[in-house]
Structure 1
Amino acid sequence: MTMGFTSKIKPNQINSGSSSDNNSWAMGFLFVFFSEEEENEEKRKPSLSLSNLSSSSSVYSFFRYPSKSSHILSRAQSTVSICAMLIFTTLLLFTLSTFEPSAKPTMLKPRAKPAVFPHALQGMGALYRRGTRAMDALIVAHAVESATEFELMYFLRMLHRSGVSSKSDVLFVFPRKLSSFDKVIADENDSFSRLLSCYGDKKKNSTTQFVKERESGQAIWGRSSNKIKEGENVTDELSYGSVVGFDVGELDPENSLLGFFSDHVPMVLRRWACYPMLLGRVRRNYKHIMLVDVKEHLLLGDSLSQLRTRTPQTVIITTLPSKKRNSEKKIANSGFVLGGTRGVRQLANAMLGEIVRGVMQHKKRNLVSEPMMFNQLVNNEYILKNVDLIVSGDSTHDLSSLTSLMKSSSSSFAFSKFPIIRRGNSNLDVTYVFNKYLCSSPLDSIAYTDC
């Protein structure tokens, strides 16, 4: 079949025959598909009718001049093409999304579901790890609002490595509930369990500070929880304490100091409102108490050993290095307090009263400083007349002092000389300093995966 044709049409006849436009279009389309023989027969006819001329004119116009109908048809074809492309793209993306690559990027992995920990005590708190037995000492570590996951991680890591957790429980007081802190504590507990497993292998290490010396009662934390299993202990031959955590709202639900401040009570002050209820609840379970700031301090040794021969009313306070040379004035360190349970309770109650008096007397309440209130209390012998207060002559060393000692001697000697240090304002790389000590032993390299 041929698609070509010949037609002779006068110019004034192109727009004629308006009454039969529809017929002309139909005949024009049929004329395109006529065979060559039929076309020759038409040529042999003596004349062409008006309808044939109109049909030829319409066909001619169809190929020469784009009409309204052709424009509509073109737009329809474009729309259909776009829709088809969209459908194809959607199907392609859906197909690709169903494939699981062999190695997914870390950043694309969904966050793990937060772990659910049993309650630590009377339906409150979180029990991160239950100890093997009842302990004589409790470390109460508070985290201020600016404390980071990194600071919490190294606080726990050095505490576990120091051996003090073999004879004491650890209780955290957080300003709010944070799943990221829960994860840090859970990860460090796993590393600690690996460390204990290495210690428990007598072929690797026959002596350790975690060896159980005597039998005692069960840990007070998590007694009512059905999720705690006795078989969770790493080994019956080792001894370690519990790790629990509380939100400040659980220990001070009424926010006792809020009425004395215009808006927000900082954690460094509100923690003192938590101690009376907390220490009153556990007063019969512990002989010794330590209060420590997670952000500012690191426990490298057993500071509680100096309380063995002290009375229950004893409270030991360290001092901070003086910023002025040859200055005899000592500044008490409110971030680290240890002593007998009775003495620390009395100090905490007195500190809470000192904060209330200081805020009421100060015109600008938000400018009340916790170190200032603490130093006023320490220097007030009348209020602390029932407390056997001991102000240590040695200042709390900072990280730069530890680094200097590590350069001249072994790391283990430096850490034993400074059982507690302050991070301070040093620009030293904490990761380098402590990994040099932690990763020096083959056992530590097994316990801590980042060595």
Structure 2
Amino acid sequence: MGFGRTAADSHAHGVDGWGMGGFLLIFFPPENDNRRRPNFNFFCQLRRYLLRAQLIVSISLLLFFSAALMCAINSLPSTAAVPRRKVDSPPRAHALQGMGVLNRRGTGAMNDVVFAHASESVTSNELRMFLRLFLRSNLAARSDLVLIFPARKPSSDEVILQETHYFSKILSLSRQSSGNDSRPPVSFDVTPFLKTRRKEKRRSDPIWGKTTKPNFSGDGETESTLPNYGSVVSFETDELDPENSLSGFMDHVPMSLRRWACYPILMGRVKRNYKHIILIDIKTVALVNDPMTRFRSNPPESIVIRSSSSSSSSGRKTRWVDPDVIMGGTRGVRRLSNAMLMSLVRTSMQQHRRKKATASESDVLNRLIENEFVLSGVNLMIVWDDDEATVPESSSPLLDGHSGSNLVRWGNVNLDSGSLAMKHICSFRVDSLVYRDCRRFQTLS
């Protein structure tokens, strides 16, 4: 028995047998990927080349324009550099031991000095009017002026420079003017500034700035014929009181109080050079004459303080001393300033402990005056304000230097006091020629 394979079976399984015998696998190479990669690398390299080319072009253009600019600057004429030299002003001359600014050097050493402080609210016009009236007063012929500012401003330096220049020009023109006119050519007495010195009396040098040789620029001008006027110097409060001594006792220290912390260093360095000292507020008071004339023969411990009074609604008069003007001998003013500084510290500590407002300068000074024990070494003189005047509504004779008044207090009338004073000044021939702002008053009149 056997199982034979028939032709039908062979034919029936022929296909299956052939199909199961093997597999046919066809692999295609990644032709598309190989084509994309070279394109991608090509664009990357092209972008790098473009960036390098842009960088090279930018550097080349920068070098080209820099070279062109240097050539243009070098080709400019030499006269174009003159304005740049004018901008580079020489360093300012210090007033005293590396501090302050010497705005005007006087013609000699003076016996008196005026310490004028400017509050934070002082404007350029107020400073200009104070300087203009002071420089024309008899006091300017025998005293130096020390200005104390809260901070230095270019406008203040410009005003000081202009006013000192105007005054020098007025003195020069007054010498040349003839005395045939019935009306004087200038609005103030120039005699104190033009007094000749005796030959045997040598003129000593001012203490401000460096010692220099006198420059006799005029024809036939000698040391004895030079005009007499004091120096003008200016300081900042940070120079005289760098630590702001009163700031530890009060939140805000106004200029009216901080000035008392600036006086000790100034008075300590010039105490042997002056006989009399005047403390004055620029904003409220102007000097038109010499207020020390009546008190110059007093001892050096003496102090003159002005007193004012006011009436209340009930008709009761109240009197108080005025801190805006204090004058006297050097020793007395020094002692008062030291006592005032200590009183400010003591009062501020008490007010801070009680959580009260800081006392004003006038209150502290009035309490100090009433304490005879503190001012035992001071010869105190209190005078009424009969020697003081306000600017009237008309042209004021107070400003000509021939009246009996020495002080002018601003702000007591509802007028522009500076304009009234300028009308009086500009009515004189020489003054109207020198001061530029006189043209405005002449056109208005």
TM-score by length of 1: 0.68
The equivalent of 1:367 in structure 2 is 358
Q: CA RMSD in A?
A: 2.6
SS at match of 1:418: coil
Distance 1:318 1:395, change over 3 A: farther
1:231 to 193, 209, 215: 215
Name the amino acid aligned to 2:421. F
Contact 2:387 2:406 in 1 (8 A): no
The alignment-based identity, stated in percent, is 41
CA distance, structure 2, for counterparts of residue 324 and residue 396 of structure 1? 23
CA distance, structure 1, for counterparts of residue 121 and residue 216 of structure 2? 34
SS at match of 2:326: strand
CA distance, structure 2, for counterparts of residue 148 and residue 134 of structure 1? 30
The equivalent of 1:212 in structure 2 is 195
1:246 to 235, 238, 260: 235
Equivalences for 1:46-445 in 2 at 5 Å?
116-201=91-176, 203-204=178-179, 208-214=191-197, 215-223=202-210, 230-231=214-215, 236=223, 237=225, 238-262=227-251, 264-324=252-312, 327-362=316-351, 363-364=354-355, 366-394=357-385, 397=388, 399=390, 402-403=391-392, 410=397, 416-445=403-432
Name the amino acid aligned to 2:195. K
CA distance, structure 1, for counterparts of residue 431 and residue 400 of structure 2? 17
Distance 1:122 1:414, change over 3 A: closer
Equivalences for 1:24-39 in 2 at 5 Å?
none
Name the amino acid aligned to 2:330. T
SS at match of 2:273: coil
Name the amino acid aligned to 2:325. F
Contact 1:132 1:233 in 2 (8 A): no
Contact 2:327 2:333 in 1 (8 A): yes
TM-score by length of 2: 0.69
CA distance, structure 2, for counterparts of residue 254 and residue 411 of structure 1? 42
Deviation at 1:200, TM superposition (A): 2.8
Deviation at 1:364, TM superposition (A): 3.7
CA distance, structure 2, for counterparts of residue 159 and residue 425 of structure 1? 20
Contact 2:101 2:234 in 1 (8 A): yes
- 172-181 vs 304-313, greater mean Cα deviation: 304-313
The equivalent of 1:87 in structure 2 is none
Name the amino acid aligned to 2:106. G
Name the amino acid aligned to 2:123. T
Deviation at 1:437, TM superposition (A): 1.8
Name the amino acid aligned to 2:232. V
The equivalent of 2:9 in structure 1 is none
SS at match of 1:329: strand
Deviation at 1:300, TM superposition (A): 1.0
SS at match of 1:241: coil
Name the amino acid aligned to 2:173. C
Name the amino acid aligned to 2:136. R
SS at match of 2:347: helix
CA distance, structure 2, for counterparts of residue 242 and residue 233 of structure 1? 19
Name the amino acid aligned to 1:432. S
Distance 1:279 1:410, change over 3 A: closer
The equivalent of 1:23 in structure 2 is none
CA distance, structure 2, for counterparts of residue 359 and residue 412 of structure 1? 40
Contact 2:138 2:289 in 1 (8 A): yes
Distance 1:174 1:365, change over 3 A: farther
Q: Which runs of 5+ in 1 are unaligned?
A: 1-110
SS at match of 1:348: helix
Name the amino acid aligned to 2:193. F
Deviation at 1:393, TM superposition (A): 2.4
Deviation at 1:211, TM superposition (A): 2.0
Distance 1:146 1:364, change over 3 A: farther
SS at match of 2:192: coil
Higher RCO structure (Cα 8 Å, ≥6 apart): 2
SS at match of 2:337: helix
Superimposed CA distance per residue, residues 359-388 of structure 1 (whole angstroms, 9 cap, x where no aligned partner): 111134653211111111112211111111
Contact 2:137 2:401 in 1 (8 A): no
Contact 1:169 1:242 in 2 (8 A): yes
CA distance, structure 2, for counterparts of residue 328 and residue 414 of structure 1? 32
Distance 1:207 1:368, change over 3 A: closer
Superimposed CA distance per residue, residues 300-344 of structure 1 (whole angstroms, 9 cap, x where no aligned partner): 111121222111011000123425386443211101100000000
CA distance, structure 1, for counterparts of residue 269 and residue 106 of structure 2? 19
Name the amino acid aligned to 1:386. G
